[in-house]
Copies of this chain bind each other. A is one copy, B any other.
């Protein structure tokens, strides 16, 4: 409150952001980046459990995760919930509300997380003026759809073992792209969240984790995961084939 004068010095910019390779800035040159920066609003960090938006709330902005992680949840008529995605830094939130006036899902921080707010109307204007920004937005949108297709395949056809293995493999790749270790990371979400997301019972997830450990595939202690045998994990996830589900070409 009293430090307004300091804000400028700590202000993050798209130019300086390490995620620009994954996020909207991808493919933009300096002048364009500055224009994007001008509409981006960096918000105060969310604390664990805090909602970025709730289902039904008016939609006026997209959000990009800057740090931390956020789960996206669909409430059901019967009080249950379905987690439809976990978003890591560089990924967009709120795409499913574009062109509508209310959010269709709820976004909740899994840990202390910061996001960039992108007022939708200003984004639209900027997309008109900067073709490569529009391209990148469309690319991220289609990734979202494609990713959900892969998830439908998971839930429709795969066993619990394959689902969990693929989930771990997917996290490994996504963390790696963000500059973290691909073999050792902390799960941002609880067992309950994992189970919910994968359409399984918590107990099943727990049992599978211990089985994976017994087989020397991964080591799990509470939320710390260490991947011991990457090849075997990929096999379990059925990701050795022609294309790698859940993983778009590297970038």
- Whether A112 is near chain B, meaning CB under 8 Å from some CB there, is no
Name the residue on B nearest A94 (C-beta): B142
In the complex the two chains form, is A149's CB within 8 Å of B99's CB? no
Q: Hey, what's the 0/1 contact readout for A208-251 against B, CB within 8 Å counting as 1?
A: 00000000000000000000000000000011111101000000
Contact B142 A98 (CB under 8 A): yes
Selected from B84, B104, B124, the residue in CB contact (under 8 A) with A134 is: B124
A138 proximity list for chain B (CB < 8 A): 98-99
A145: chain B residues at CB < 8 Å are 95-96, 141, 144-145, 148
CA A132 – CA B98 in complex, angstroms? 13
Which residue in B124, B142, B150 is a CB contact (below 8 Å) of A97? Answer: B142
Q: Which residue of B lies closest to A82 (CB)?
A: B153
Q: How many copies does the complex hold?
A: 2
Q: Mark A33-65, 1 if CB is under 8 A from B, else 0.
A: 000000000000000000000000000000000
Q: Is the interface of A mostly helix, strand, loop or mixed?
A: helix
**Given the complex, which residues of B lie within 8 Å of A196, measured CB to CB?**
156
CB distance from A139 to the nearest CB of B (A): 3
How far is B45's CA from A244's CA once the two chains are assembled, in angstroms? 33
- B82 close to A141 (CB less than 8 A): no
Q: Are A104 and B146 in contact (CB under 8 A)?
A: yes
| Size band of the interface chain A makes with B | 35 or more
User: Chain B contacts of A12 at CB under 8 A?
Assistant: none
| A99–B142 CA distance with the chains assembled, in angstroms | 7
* Complex partner residue of A99 from B99, B105, B139, CB under 8 angstroms: B139
How far, in angstroms, from A142 to B105 measured CA to CA in the complex? 12
Determine how close the nearest CB of chain B comes to the CB of A83; give it in whole angstroms. Answer: 8
Interface-central residue, A74, A128, A145, A198, by most chain B CB under 10 Å: A145
| A152 close to B153 (CB less than 8 A) | no
Which A75-105 residues sit within 8 Å CB-CB of chain B? 76-78, 80, 82, 84, 95-100, 104-105
User: A149 — which chain B residues lie within 8 A by C-beta?
Assistant: 74, 82, 84, 96, 104-105, 148
CB A100 to nearest CB in B, in angstroms, measures 6
Q: For chain A, residues 151 to 169, give those with C-beta under 8 angstroms from any C-beta of chain B.
A: 151-153, 155-157
